[in-house]
Amino acid sequence: MTQLTSIDFLVIFAYLAVTMAIGLWIGSYVRSGSDFFLAGRSLPWWAVGMSLVVTDMGGTDLIGLGGDAYRYGIVMGNFEWIGCVPAMIVGGFVFIPHLWRCRVTTIPEYLERRFNVQLRSAVAACWLFFMACNLGVMLLASARFMNSLAGWDLSVCILVTALLVGIYTWAGGLGAVVYTDVMQGFVVIGGCILFVVIGIFELGGIEPLTDKVHVVARLKDRDDIRQREQSMSPQELAAFRAKNHQRRFQTESEHLSLVLPVDTRSPAPWPAVLFGLCFIVGPGYWIGNQCMVQRALGAKSEYEAKASYIYGALIKNLIPFLVAIPGLIALVKFPEIGHGRADEALGRLVGALLPTGLRGAFVAAFLAALMSSVDSYLNSATSLYVNDFYRRFYRPSADEGQMLAVGRWTTIGFVAWGIYFAFQLMEFPVGIYTIFQTLASFFVGPTFAVLLAGMLSRSASGDAAVTGFYAGVLTSLGLFGLNQPGICHWLGLKPLFQIGQPYLYYSIWSFVVAMLFIVVFSYFLRSDPPEKTCYAIGGIGPEGGPA
């Protein structure tokens, strides 16, 4: 634990003051629900692109991915590279322009136009649950980081962060979120580059860093193999030793490889990376997550919506170097932290590496990353509730002024919920990034399946899509259950998956099951009328009417 000096506090205060000023200034221009939820469709590509990157990077990535890089190595960079870049490019050229043409505010709204209201409600409820939980996870992530860095009280950290973000999101809606994200993006990327450069210099350069990572990680690998062997039967032990004979004597660890074998302990063996992350989780996240898509829907033209995703993909190439390398530096500097407390590695590294003033700059960068995620999830959760439940079922005739008022009250409600949930999570021992990814894996696969079927096929029917979505969610929940040690012990089975956190596999199978149900049921059920099927890609013209 390190102390922040008055210079550090001055830097942090200056950052927070500028953020609040931008957010409240944008808020003074918000006059309607459309301004609040889509910034009046006036956002430029560069602001949306930076907002996409910094929202996705967020506090969970900075701490959680940094912590997982400490545990498993650079393989976690796959989540930012192959999990984002291909999906953003395909999404930017194919799916996002179509959603922008449809002039929708939320993804579930599109699903009602293409399929039916049951699917809209089911998808909105699932993503609302995911976003509400995430608010608590993100607030707790920041509090733990500040606690490990400066010893600040967890409760105070949660309350202060939530209130600061809540105020400018309440005032300015999506516009405030996106433009503060741009400023936060420069602070985050600048702060992280500074941090990585200082860390590499401290260790004598890139080559000494990689050499030391191999040495430390190999020692940890051997401890891990020894522990695994102790829990095996004689037959399992013989098979394991035969298979791992070569790996015992290699001098390089897996910590600096992006492609890991099937029996790795990390959550990212190569089949999960290729079939889960690249083909399902990445596209599902960048096309089906309201939090990401909403800002592109607020772009001022179809071209600007496309450009924002391509620009974001370009910046994404840089991000893993900024979040994973600090985890590797921490592994070399503090090998004694251990897997269980790896999320604390980054906080300790900041205290050890950075001098006064720069420490405050990095804390500001971290707060910027965290606030950019919290404000986005806050605004998107509000959009889902107000558009897909309040306006759809309770007050269909609500005017723009009423939508703005309800949006602001809902924002306050979600801030209160986020604070409450963060307090409930305090005693939860699992890694922060794991909680986030596991929650996402329940819904990403089925959502991507219904979106893909709806956009690419006119023969997919609404009833089949609803059935497929429910079947997919139940599949991921079932697989999650069958992998819990308590449930397996009760059923007398061994866990279904061998890797530690198999959330990528949940996504693969939930997508496959959902798509199977959609295809089979669509074959037997009557297809939707033309006013529904025209919302498939190619059915809507540039002006928003039928092509």
Partner 1 sequence: MTFLHWIGDALRQLFEQVPLSVAKWLLIGQFLALIFWVVQLRSSETTPQDHQSKWYEDLKIWAWLALMMQIVIYGIF
Per CB under 8 A, residues contacting partner 1 are 74, 77, 81-82, 85-86, 89-90, 92-93, 256-263, 269-271, 273-274, 278, 301, 303, 306-307, 310-311, 313-314, 316-317, 482, 493-494, 496-498, 542
Tell me how far, at minimum, the Cβ of 261 lies from partner 1, in Å: 6
Q: Are 379 and 166 in contact (CB under 8 A)?
A: no
- 380, exposed or middle or buried, with CB in 10 Å at 0-12, 13-18, 19+? buried
- Residue with smaller CB distance to partner 1, 89 or 519: 89
Q: What is the DSSP string of 242-263?
A: HHTHHHHH-SS-GGG-SSB-TT
- Of residues 345, 520, 536, the one with CA closest to residue 453: 536
- Residue with smaller CB distance to partner 1, 355 or 544: 544
Question: What is the spatial distance between Cα 213 and Cα 207, in angstroms, rounded to a whole number?
Answer: 10
State residue 258 phi and psi, 5-degree precision: -90, -15
- 493, exposed or middle or buried, with CB in 10 Å at 0-12, 13-18, 19+? exposed
- 314, exposed or middle or buried, with CB in 10 Å at 0-12, 13-18, 19+? middle
- Residue with smaller CB distance to partner 1, 92 or 327: 92
- What 8-state DSSP symbol labels residue 41? G
- Residue with smaller CB distance to partner 1, 383 or 475: 475
Residue 51 neighbours by CB under 8 Å, 6+ apart:
177, 178, 181, 182, 185, 295, 372, 376
Question: What is the spatial distance between Cα 147 and Cα 157, in angstroms, rounded to a whole number?
Answer: 8
- 210, exposed or middle or buried, with CB in 10 Å at 0-12, 13-18, 19+? middle
Tell me how far, at minimum, the Cβ of 505 lies from partner 1, in Å: 9
- Residue with smaller CB distance to partner 1, 404 or 471: 471
- Of residues 191, 166, 194, the one with CA closest to residue 180: 166
Tell me how far, at minimum, the Cβ of 303 lies from partner 1, in Å: 4
Tell me how far, at minimum, the Cβ of 493 lies from partner 1, in Å: 6
- Residue with smaller CB distance to partner 1, 161 or 253: 253
Question: What is the spatial distance between Cα 99 and Cα 282, in angstroms, rounded to a whole number?
Answer: 18
Question: What is the spatial distance between Cα 468 and Cα 465, in angstroms, rounded to a whole number?
Answer: 5
Q: What is the CA radius of gyration of the chain?
A: 23
Tell me how far, at minimum, the Cβ of 218 lies from partner 1, in Å: 17
Q: Are 536 and 472 in contact (CB under 8 A)?
A: no
Tell me how far, at minimum, the Cβ of 263 lies from partner 1, in Å: 7
- Residue with smaller CB distance to partner 1, 279 or 334: 279
Tell me how far, at minimum, the Cβ of 252 lies from partner 1, in Å: 12
- Residue with smaller CB distance to partner 1, 210 or 438: 210
Tell me how far, at minimum, the Cβ of 103 lies from partner 1, in Å: 17
Tell me how far, at minimum, the Cβ of 126 lies from partner 1, in Å: 23
- Of residues 546, 499, 160, the one with CA closest to residue 363: 160
Tell me how far, at minimum, the Cβ of 146 lies from partner 1, in Å: 32
- Residue with smaller CB distance to partner 1, 190 or 478: 478
Beta strands in 15-64 (DSSP E): none
- Residue with smaller CB distance to partner 1, 424 or 498: 498
Angle made by CA atoms 283, 431, 473, in degrees to the nearest 5: 45
